[in-house]
Structure 1
Amino acid sequence: MLRGLVGTGGVITSAGVVLAATFAALGVIPLAFLAQIAFIVAFGVLLDTLVVRSLLVPALARDLGAVAWWPGADAFPASK
């Protein structure tokens, strides 16, 4: 699992930062409600990218063990 996190972490983080920057760019538009929405969405994307996908999902997958990968190859014995 650590190998997968190392292999995909940079891609996920950079995609999240680019997406957050895209939404944050809407904050310079002089419409107040659009600037508020842009900030909220950009903050949510960064929170999801940096906290949830980098810390919580790997920790939960480690705690759950093999159950985290259900349904896997063992869940469908007819497909073997």
Structure 2
Amino acid sequence: MASPVVLAATDAVSGNLGAVAYGLAAIGPGIGIGLIFGLGVQAIARQPEAEQVAFRYMLIGFALVEALALIGFVVPFVFK
């Protein structure tokens, strides 16, 4: 049987693993958002008359990528 100190240390490590998992899960959406807005600005600079369409698609892409970030935030808490 494990001592209470070992059990407390195990709980602390498993709690920190959720934070590490979210940190790793936030890398992908961060890169995705950077690509979406960076390439969107380039598209608008090349074709200013298509600004409305490009901006609409930028917002849709941002919402989808941000949903992935929120899912990555919730998953470590759901699957303890």
TM-score for the superposition, normalised by structure 1: 0.51
**Structure 1 CA distance for aligned equivalents of residues 67 and 19 of structure 2:** 16
One-letter code aligned to 1:20:
F
**Structure 1 CA distance for aligned equivalents of residues 29 and 48 of structure 2:** 31
User: What secondary structure does 1:47 align onto?
Assistant: helix
Say whether residues 1:27 and 2:44 are aligned partners. Answer: yes
- What are structure 1's unaligned runs of at least 5 residues? 67-80
In structure 2, what is the equivalent of residue 36 of structure 1?
Answer: 52
Aligned residues: 60
**Structure 1 CA distance for aligned equivalents of residues 59 and 28 of structure 2:** 19
- For the 8 Å contact 1:20–1:41, the answer to whether it is kept is no
Q: CA RMSD in A?
A: 2.5
23, 26, 35: which one pairs with 1:9? 26
Identity across matched positions, percent: 8
Q: Which has the higher contact order (CA 8 A, sep 6+)?
A: 2
